[in-house]
Amino acid sequence: MKHLLVTNDFPPKIGGIQSLLWEWWRRLPPEQFAVLTSPYDGAAEFDAEQAFRVDRVPEPVLLPHPIMTKRVNDMAKEFGAELVVLDPAVPLGLIGPTLDLPYDVVLHGAEVTVPGRLPGSKQALAWVLRNARHVIAAGEYSSAEADRAAGRALPTTVVPPGVDTERFRPLTAPERSAARADFGLPVDGQVIVGVSRLVPRKGFDTAIRAVARMRESHPDLVLAIAGKGRDDDRLRKLADELDAPVRFLGRVANDDLPRIYGCADVFTMLCRNRWGGLEQEGFGIVFVEAAACGVPQVAGQSGGAAEAVADGETGLVLDEPGADDAPARAAEAFATLLDDEALRTRMGAAARERALTDFSYDVLAARLGAALDV
């Protein structure tokens, strides 16, 4: 069955949803689907490199209005699609029930939790979900949130985000030293790495406070934070104020990403709930990227993060990462791993193994293909 994927979030824009959709869809037979998405800098070059068709609308975002419905109907008809796949469920998914064809929705997390817990938008989300042919949920957490919003169990396939386990792989000791030198990190010191869009939910303030507390016990420790975002200035100021051992790497190029993870003794992203649980981490692709690189992770307990990190096996999950004492507990968790090389090695190996068996995109794309009947 041919289908049309309609989404606001597609590369070359960076982010978890963008990378997830591309990694899933590029593994499906390219003649079986087309993509309709929004414009972005560098999109023409990116689109030309894809084996499948990508169309972009002229306006900056895809919004649910009758012109969009007509555009999707027209493109689906011209392409010969029998199904439309919509992401996100709201607001864009509101065109679903008005389309000529059946539709599926893709769910990630925050975009289900927030409208699903607010009166008014909950009804709209429930309408979209109940009328969908099928739901593709990027984790058990978003699946449960969708069932809750719809008021019943939906026909769902859970396909967690995954990782390209060839691109993200453990570095040898010489490769790691070279990577650390290239990024200006201490070759012989201890390095904790964080990679993320820098937004408050990702909890880098907690990580900064934690390493600031570790200056005496771990004098050669550096926290390297890769990524950009609206929290950038606040985090830099906090690191300055606390004189914390933090290195901000800014946005790193895609090609450099696996080597950044490879620099780490420990990876961290202490994600936390915000707005009384309205905003939670959907899953956290960065954890499985770190895992594939053989690096143990310290995560915050929020949404689906504990699906991504197996607590005690591939890393540690910090309870109540938004609590006042979280920096002290995070420092303890970091020290537990940094002070025990055997534990790090064991968890790093288990993480790599789990990435290969549970989160390899080749395995996950097959599950997606079965759900979409391609």
Contacts with ligand GDD, residue ranges (CB under 6 A): 14-17, 19-20, 108-110, 138, 161, 195-197, 226-227, 251-252, 254, 257, 281-286, 289
Count Cβ neighbours within 10 Å for each residue of 170-194 and write b for 16 or more, e otherwise.
bbeeeebebbbeebebbeeebbbbb
Q: Which is nearer to ligand GDD, 195 or 333 (CB)?
A: 195
Quote the least distance from Cβ 219 to ligand GDD, whole Å.
28
Quote the least distance from Cβ 112 to ligand GDD, whole Å.
10
Quote the least distance from Cβ 20 to ligand GDD, whole Å.
4
Q: Would you say 94 and 331 are in contact if contact means Cβ atoms under 8 Å apart?
A: no
Q: Which is nearer to ligand GDD, 224 or 337 (CB)?
A: 224
- The pair phi, psi for residue 268, each rounded to 5°, is -145, 145
Quote the least distance from Cβ 341 to ligand GDD, whole Å.
26
Closest CA to 135 of 73, 85, 192: 85
Task: Please give the C-alpha separations between residue 244 and each of 206, 239, 266, 335, 352, in angstroms, as whole numbers.
Answer: 12, 5, 17, 16, 30
How far apart (Å, rounded) are the C-alpha atoms in residues 234 and 246? Answer: 13
How far apart (Å, rounded) are the C-alpha atoms in residues 168 and 172? Answer: 13
How far apart (Å, rounded) are the C-alpha atoms in residues 125 and 89? Answer: 7
Quote the least distance from Cβ 325 to ligand GDD, whole Å.
25
What is the Cα Rg of the chain in Å? 21
Q: Which is nearer to ligand GDD, 264 or 286 (CB)?
A: 286
Q: Which is nearer to ligand GDD, 254 or 357 (CB)?
A: 254
How far apart (Å, rounded) are the C-alpha atoms in residues 143 and 207? Answer: 29
Task: Please give the C-alpha separations between residue 28 and each of 124, 137, 178, 285, 371, in angstroms, as whole numbers.
Answer: 31, 17, 36, 20, 12
Quote the least distance from Cβ 108 to ligand GDD, whole Å.
3
Q: Which is nearer to ligand GDD, 71 or 236 (CB)?
A: 236
| Amino acid at site 164 | D
Q: Which is nearer to ligand GDD, 22 or 334 (CB)?
A: 22
Quote the least distance from Cβ 122 to ligand GDD, whole Å.
19
* 4, β-bridge pairs: 34, 84
Chain centroid to Cα 297, Å, comes to: 15
Quote the least distance from Cβ 100 to ligand GDD, whole Å.
28
Q: Which is nearer to ligand GDD, 73 or 143 (CB)?
A: 143
How far apart (Å, rounded) are the C-alpha atoms in residues 249 and 243? Answer: 17
Count Cβ neighbours within 10 Å for each residue of 253-278 and write b for 16 or more, e otherwise.
eeeebbbbbbbbbbbbbbbbbbeeee
Cis before 91 (ω within 30): yes
Q: 121-131 and 140-150 are packed helices; what angle lies between their axes, rounded to 10 degrees? A: 100
Quote the least distance from Cβ 282 to ligand GDD, whole Å.
3
Quote the least distance from Cβ 161 to ligand GDD, whole Å.
5
Q: Which is nearer to ligand GDD, 75 or 288 (CB)?
A: 288
Q: Which is nearer to ligand GDD, 114 or 221 (CB)?
A: 114
Q: Can you list the alpha helix ranges (DSSP code H) found in 183-243?
A: 204-213, 232-242
Q: Which is nearer to ligand GDD, 94 or 257 (CB)?
A: 257
